[in-house]
Structure 1
Amino acid sequence: MPPLKSGRSPWAIGCAVVAMTTAVTGPAWADPAPSFEALLGRIGLTPTTLEADALLDAAEARVGQAQVRPNPELGLEAENAFGTGPFSGYDNAETTLSLSQDLELWGRRGARVEVARAEAGAAVLRRDLASVEAANRLALVYAEAEAAERRFLLAEEALAVTIADTRAALILVEEGREPLLRGIQGETEAAAARANLDEAHAERDAAFARLTAVAMLPTPVTSIETGLLDRTPAGVAAIAGTTPEVRVAEAERAAAGSRIEVERVRARPDVRASVGVRRYEAEDATALSFGVSMPLPLFDRNRGNIDAARAEFRAAEARLMGARQEAEADRNAAEARLRASASRVSATDAGVTAAEEAYRLSRVGFEAGRISQLELRSSRAALINARNAAVDARLARVRAEIDLARLQGRAPFGTSQ
């Protein structure tokens, strides 16, 4: 039986490869993203930080409101008027104009102010935590966009290298040193490389769109000139301290403790003093009236609210205990991941250098006819994988730095907010 033959000639395969080469090139346009430091300076304009600032303003306004004394009450009362007999008109009426004031005894006002101040302190820490989280999110989106751009450039280079290898194979096919199957395989590999390039292009555009949205830039980002992937993290050398989550939990526990005292004070009688002027129409005389009033705590002693405040305080203590338990473990884990990622970056860089040399030697050997196309394909795939692994390692290092920066309450890479 005669061998199966392909209906495609080496010339047709070469034309397809040339078409792929033309498709790689495109219009050159770029709108570079601002530096990470420039975007970090605008972190206060992000929705999360604006929300935290507004909540802090509300908490501070409540502190001012808590310091205000209650308003006095003005009352006008008429007795013995418009009745029957001697009280048929207003001639025998008794009219009283009085002014009453809540005395706020038992430290009621001080307890109220203490709660408001404690809640404002917690709002300050939440605002700081929101700023840190916004900075870390910006760093992650920035690094992911940079990594997506590098993967796209690597995919372009991989396509160019694959096409060059395919052309070299076609030359050997024309010379009769390789079967036609090698050319067809080369075209298939070039098509796969083109598909990878299209996928990398889509991922890059999506990452740039996310960066544009998160950074609230007026124009879309199409390139990154100064990135984060090659920066050396400063996380491990940073001074250790209490994590922002622990500080927030401590402030929330303090506020919960202050609310217990407020409910205890509310259980005591609310004393009110009053003074007034009474007019006696029948005698055409006036007299002063004064008094003190207070409710009798026979039925409502605010027990339920006191118990609820105590329960909320226990819940706040439990949250603080959990935050403290997780803080140290998370910090140690983040520092270990950062050290491991730094080692991985060094290893992948060495791997890229070795893979580049191996591919160069394989290409020389293939053109000289000393090694097969399969060996060349293997060395090319190893080079592509090594370069992509180097990008992944750098992105992992950025993520490790971001995790540690969040635990330390700072912006990544030692930058200030």
Structure 2
Amino acid sequence: MLASSRRRPRLAVGCALAAIAAILASPVWAEPAPTYAALLSQLGQTPASLEADARVDAAEGRVRQARVRPNPVASLEAENAFGGQPFGGYANAETSLAVSQNLELWGRRRARVAVATAEAKTSVVERDLAVIDTAGRLALIYAEAEAAERRASLASEALTLAVADARAALALVEEGREPVLRGIQAESEASSARATLDEAVAERDAAFARLTAVALLPAPVTTIADSLLDQAPASIITATDRVPTVRVAEAGLAAAERRIDVERINARPDVTASIGLRRFEAEDATALTFGVSLPLPLFDRNRGNIDAARAEYRAADARLAQARQDARADRAAANARLGASTSRVSAADAGVMAAEEAYRLSRIGFDAGRISQLELRTSRAALINARNAAVDARLARVRAEIDLARLEGRAPFEGHL
């Protein structure tokens, strides 16, 4: 009965060994992801960057259009023709041919161009912000894929350790130095480690798929060759007015101010001048005609649009104030996160070294029969947690660098754009 009970955990651990061998012997794709620097150099081909470039081109087109003068209007008019006597037929008709031109007085065209130019500058700043955000998203997804790969590797190592510990426990069971319960517990731990590895592999594949999609790669990513988690982040933050969000708000305020000028000018009469020729058929004579037309501002003085433009200016001014306040707060938070993440990485690395030594000593003690399986299990769990904590600490440091880069108006881990 005892021999039968002992064989069960041995067979279970054998299955676990076969499982890990199957996982580790599964086909390994040999197509590593391009380096982060290489992906960053192709950032202009991403949909977000292309959309931002298109918006800039559209704004520049509106600037060119704003500089164009309105087209003249040609008119042909005939009077006193084909009516009753003495205006039967066309013998006594008067024919007028005139050309009229909007004079765009009061600086209408200049104000229109100023608004379009300000909006184009806003589009340029928004494009820069979009590129920075896209670079930050790329860096985060790249780092998350690398972290998922490391977690899968750590899960594989954890399964190897669990199986090795289970085999050692079974040897003690066979020698009668440990009860059969210890073998069953070892089997359970190996099964749990196997499930953790399956989950980690699934997360890794999902992270690789996200990186493949975001980076627009032609082939699926299968491994990360160039580490981003181990790169040291920058530690310099420029003045607050260089923060892209503040620059966007400043450009929006300038454009809102220009719109007020446009609406004020639109309240003034829009003058149109005309000149032409009139043909008198009865007298067989031709005369010059000229004139000026303008609306009378009796009812509409554009006050509603002026008030609306002023309100939009106040809103833009409030957005700028909020952006500056947020930039100051974000700068303080980014500095704090950078310091904390750097300290966390150092502490995590020290924790891994301590956990590795503790597990090594625990394993020696367990093999010698000086410590229990529970103590060995505890030290192994501490080692696994310490290694995963080191990965999490590096991922947090990448996030801190992304925040810093956004405040500085640059791509993460790269110089200023």
TM range (shorter): over 0.9
**Match of 1:414, SS?**
coil
Distance 2:330 2:223 in 1: 34
1:18 aligns with 2:21: no
Distance 2:367 2:257 in 1: 80
Of 24-33 and 297-306, the range deviating more from structure 2: 24-33
1:186 aligns with 2:186: yes
**Match of 2:64, SS?**
helix
Question: In the alignment, what sits opposite 2:87?
Answer: 87
Of 377-386 and 292-301, the range deviating more from structure 2: 292-301
- Matched AA of 1:82: F
Change (3 A) 1:247 1:21: closer
Change (3 A) 1:9 1:218: closer
Q: CA deviation at 1:85?
A: 1.2
**Match of 1:84, SS?**
coil
**Match of 1:86, SS?**
coil
1:126-275 → structure 2 map (5 Å cutoff) = 126-234=126-234, 236-242=235-241, 243-275=243-275
Please give the per-residue CA displacement for 1:382-405, whole angstroms capped at 9, x wherever unaligned.
000000000000000000110111
Distance 1:228 1:295 in 2: 66
- Matched AA of 1:276: G
Please give the per-residue CA displacement for 1:199-247, whole angstroms capped at 9, x wherever unaligned.
000000000000000000000000000021000001x224334210010
Question: In the alignment, what sits opposite 2:54?
Answer: 54
Change (3 A) 1:104 1:21: closer
Q: CA deviation at 1:139?
A: 0.2
Q: What TM-score, normalized by structure 1, do the two folds share?
A: 0.97
Change (3 A) 1:11 1:200: closer
- Matched AA of 1:23: A
Question: In the alignment, what sits opposite 1:382?
Answer: 382
- Matched AA of 2:394: R
**Match of 2:86, SS?**
helix
Q: CA deviation at 1:414?
A: 2.8
Change (3 A) 1:121 1:10: closer
Structure 1: stretches of 5+ with no match in the other structure: none
Q: Is the 8 A contact 2:91 2:282 kept in 1?
A: yes
1:250-329 → structure 2 map (5 Å cutoff) = 250-329=250-329
**Match of 1:288, SS?**
strand
1:383-402 → structure 2 map (5 Å cutoff) = 383-402=383-402
Q: Is the 8 A contact 1:36 1:142 kept in 2?
A: yes
Q: Is the 8 A contact 1:94 1:279 kept in 2?
A: yes
Question: In the alignment, what sits opposite 1:103?
Answer: 103
Question: In the alignment, what sits opposite 1:351?
Answer: 351
Q: CA deviation at 1:23?
A: 3.1
Distance 2:373 2:120 in 1: 70
- Matched AA of 1:313: Y
Distance 1:100 1:14 in 2: 96
**Match of 2:140, SS?**
helix
Percent identity between the two aligned chains: 70
**Match of 1:346, SS?**
helix
Distance 1:194 1:356 in 2: 21
Please give the per-residue CA displacement for 1:26-73, whole angstroms capped at 9, x wherever unaligned.
223231000001000110111111111001000000000000000001
Change (3 A) 1:23 1:53: same
Q: CA deviation at 1:8?
A: 5.5
Q: Is the 8 A contact 1:10 1:173 kept in 2?
A: no
- Matched AA of 1:157: E
Q: Is the 8 A contact 2:237 2:407 kept in 1?
A: no
- Matched AA of 1:265: I
Q: Is the 8 A contact 2:94 2:280 kept in 1?
A: yes
Distance 2:115 2:45 in 1: 29
Q: CA deviation at 1:6?
A: 4.9
Q: Is the 8 A contact 1:142 1:227 kept in 2?
A: no
- Matched AA of 2:117: R
Q: CA deviation at 1:83?
A: 1.3
Distance 2:126 2:97 in 1: 50
Q: CA deviation at 1:7?
A: 8.3
For the aligned residue pairs, the C-alpha RMSD in angstroms reads 1.5
Q: What TM-score, normalized by structure 2, do the two folds share?
A: 0.97
Distance 1:40 1:21 in 2: 37
**Match of 2:306, SS?**
helix
Please give the per-residue CA displacement for 1:118-170, whole angstroms capped at 9, x wherever unaligned.
00000000011111011000000000000000000000000000000000001
